[in-house]
Amino acid sequence: MSSAKKKGLNRKIIAVCGKGGAGKTAVAAMMAAAIKRLDPKSRTLLIDADPAGGLASAMGVKAHKTIGEIREGVLKQARTKDPAIKEQVARAVDYYLLDALEERDGWSLLAMGRGESAGCFCPVNNLLRDAIGTMAGDFDRVIIDGEAGIEQIMRQVMKTVDTLLVVSDSSARGMNTASLIRSLVDGKGVLSAPELLLIINRVVDNKKVRKIAAGSGFEVAALVPEDDLVGKWDASSKPLSELPPDAASMKAIDKLVKKLFTE
């Protein structure tokens, strides 16, 4: 194994976040495709943490079972007073998660979904989160596509994140959201001190965007150009992970993945 690959594998858990509509799901899907090109033997776990299931769609799959559904089943069984059944349920969680995986060549996807029960069920949530953390150890890399903001990533998916990729467009609103996310990480300790990087999406004027980025306080990991092909594929429900390698946006994501995993 090369030293470059060893270094890349150290950055194991990557979460992608940002304001709604900034393109974080497209970035996550294209990253999965770029990783597979970079290392065809790589095993990547994709976690679709958006209840709407955006990443599953962008990868061309439909989740047959979600974590939300597993949670409902566990809660139903856990309400029994029989301690033997409760213990059996706890032991079966790993099986439930494996059954929920959508497995493809080079990657597997786990959809979070949303449970129907109201109220706080912290023991069940923690049980699932710990099981997901254990499962992640069997993969080379983990990419989480989260909802807007970052607290959900921490509370419902993973205990730790190595790199947080904040996706924004060049609008004031997008950059303000990025700054808010940074303040949550820096000031409230929502995550365990991850590397914090900015991706600016749908870039038309590189010079103008670089000025905006320079005043953001972020380290900029990538400028992804405006790419009509992304919109066309999205509108026709084609998997964004299958965009051609020579697409302008995919070229930028290829460079990002090489930066994250080989430099």
The answer to whether the beta carbons of residues 17 and 181 sit under 8 Å apart is yes
pLDDT of residue 142: 94
Question: What single letter denotes the amino acid at residue 245?
Answer: P
Count of CB atoms situated within 10 Å of the CB of 21: 13
Closest CA to 63 of 41, 46, 88: 46
Which of helix, strand or coil describes residue 67? helix
pTM above 0.95, yes or no: no
Q: How far apart, in whole angstroms, are the C-alpha atoms of residue 174 and residue 161?
A: 22
Look up residue 202 and give its two tokens: 């749908």
Q: Write down the pLDDT at residue 2.
A: 35
Give me the pLDDT at residue 42, please: 86
pLDDT at 12: 78
Q: What is the CATH number of domain 3-261?
A: 3.40.50.300
Q: Which of 67, 64, 65, 63 is nearest to 54 (CA)?
A: 63
Q: How far is CA 194 from CA 63, 183, 186, in A?
A: 29, 13, 10
Determine which helix (DSSP H) or strand (DSSP E) holds 157, and give its type and residue range.
none
How many CB atoms are located within 10 Å of the residue 212 CB?
Answer: 18
Helix (H, G, I), strand (E, B) or coil at 209: helix
Residue ranges covered by each domain of the chain: 3-261
End-to-end CA, the chain: 15
Averaged pLDDT in 10-residue chunks for the chain of 263 residues: 40 86 94 93 91 90 89 76 68 86 94 66 70 89 84 68 92 90 75 84 93 89 96 93 96 94 77
**Cβ distance 15 to 184 under 8 Å?**
no
What order do you get walking across the sheet with 13-18 strand by strand? 102-104, 107-111, 44-48, 141-145, 13-18, 163-168, 195-203, 219-225
